Structure 1
Amino acid sequence: MIRLDHIAVAGATLAEAVDWVECALGVPLQPGGKHGLFGTHNRLLGLSDALYLEAIAVDPAAPPPGRARWFGLDRFSGPARLTNWICATDDMDAVLARLPGAGRPVPLARGDLRWTMAVPDDGMLPFDNLHPALICWSTPTHPSATLARSGCRLRRLLVSHPQADALADILQPVLADTRVVLEPGAPGLLAEMETPHGIKVLR
């Protein structure tokens, strides 16, 4: 019922997030856009297998959104790092009935893109923000199809948390993706990436 859609790297500024990804992978990110409802902006990187990577940060030029920002960005501090994984569904209501911790559905638009994102009221996802965020695209063309090929491919996404077994139990009925591995450990994400420069790791 859900499938891996993209991964997100957050930074104290968008420049920091972009620089971190570009240095780690050795490829340039492409233009993204602004999210007025949440006061954030992003840059993007197309990956193989209809996935993409998003570098995201609070937009200092945007007015305060009057609500908690998604991905827990109101509480973000420290160096840029891989912070979130996002899964897509074709039936947001049905999935939220199974995964209510993902939040409330929020309709969004930017340019030709239309989508609904589930966002918790406080902006923070369960399991220390490591529960997958949920997205439902309303436009026929997925963003990954509009991005230039980067030569990068996600090999494995490791989700570590002290309660990884509990998270796995929650996700097992709705997510089947051998690239996603959940294991006990300190909270964090690690992505193994194939790149034009060999295997690189984001964490």
Structure 2
Amino acid sequence: MMELDHIAVAGTDLAVAVACCEAALGVPMGPGGRHARYGTHNRLIGLAPRLYLEAIAIDPDAPPPPDARWFGLDDFSGPARLDKWICRVPDIDAAIAALPVAGRRVDLERDGLRWSMAVPEDGRLPFEGLFPALIQWHVPSPPGQSLPPSGLTLTCLTVAHPEAAALEALLAPHLQAPLVRFEPADSPRLSAEMTGPEGAIRL
């Protein structure tokens, strides 16, 4: 069973991605870390209920990875934006067996965190990147539980795509995420609705 774990704002530069988040949220992002395996770095902020938001970009100080970067970051261009949603699963191998389009298992760690992700060989997730990335945590308290509260609550994540009905049907037997809804649209996009200290937020 897949549950919403976190959402990600991508940028061509981490400072730009962080600025995009902070301008929309009205609160500062927290620290993050580096992902040596894929040559990326991030910053995080906790969201209720037991979720988080990640700003992520290629790390210019890291050596190039041996293969394609995750989240399609090798091809990312344009302004920073909400670009990915990530679902946690209890068994990554079983999840990949059920949804092989998710990619291959890659085991990762940083700063005391350990997890496995499904990453396509070319780094590009299906449905123009709007198929959810799959993650299995191997720590008792993943970031969605351990990050300090920010006062922000995710109330709805909309996955808009020309083939939204096909994506929803593909995921329906596995997805348990009441905050996620699918919507037909001319072009693929993600949008998140939240509440915070200053009221309603849309990212």
TM-score bracket relative to the smaller structure? over 0.9
Report the TM-score when normalising by structure 2: 0.98
- Between the aligned partners of 1:100 and 1:196, the Cα distance in structure 2 is 41
Between the two proteins, the alignment pairs up a number of residues equal to 202
Give the Å deviation of 1:176. Answer: 2.1
Q: Deviations over 1:36-86 (max 9, x none)?
A: 000000000001111000000000000011210000000001100000000
* Stretches of structure 2 lacking an aligned partner (at least 5 in a row): none
In the alignment, what sits opposite 1:86? 86
Q: Where do 1:67-78 residues align within 5 Å?
A: 67-78=67-78
Are 2:50 and 2:145, in contact at CA under 8 Å, matched by a contact in 1? yes
Are 1:25 and 1:197, in contact at CA under 8 Å, matched by a contact in 2? no
Give the Å deviation of 1:174. Answer: 0.3
Q: Deviations over 1:146-200 (max 9, x none)?
A: 2221100110000011111110111000002221001110200000011111111
In the alignment, what sits opposite 1:193? 194
In the alignment, what sits opposite 1:101? 101
* Stretches of structure 1 lacking an aligned partner (at least 5 in a row): none
Q: Runs in 1 of length 4+ with deviation above 6 angstroms?
A: none
How much identity, in percent, do the aligned residues show?
58
Give the Å deviation of 1:144. Answer: 2.3
Are 2:96 and 2:102, in contact at CA under 8 Å, matched by a contact in 1? yes
In the alignment, what sits opposite 2:32? 32
Query: Pairwise CA RMSD of aligned residues?
Result: 0.7
SS where residue 74 of structure 1 aligns? helix
Are 1:103 and 1:120, in contact at CA under 8 Å, matched by a contact in 2? yes
Q: Where do 1:45-64 residues align within 5 Å?
A: 45-64=45-64
Aligned residue type for 1:95: A
Give the Å deviation of 1:97. Answer: 1.4
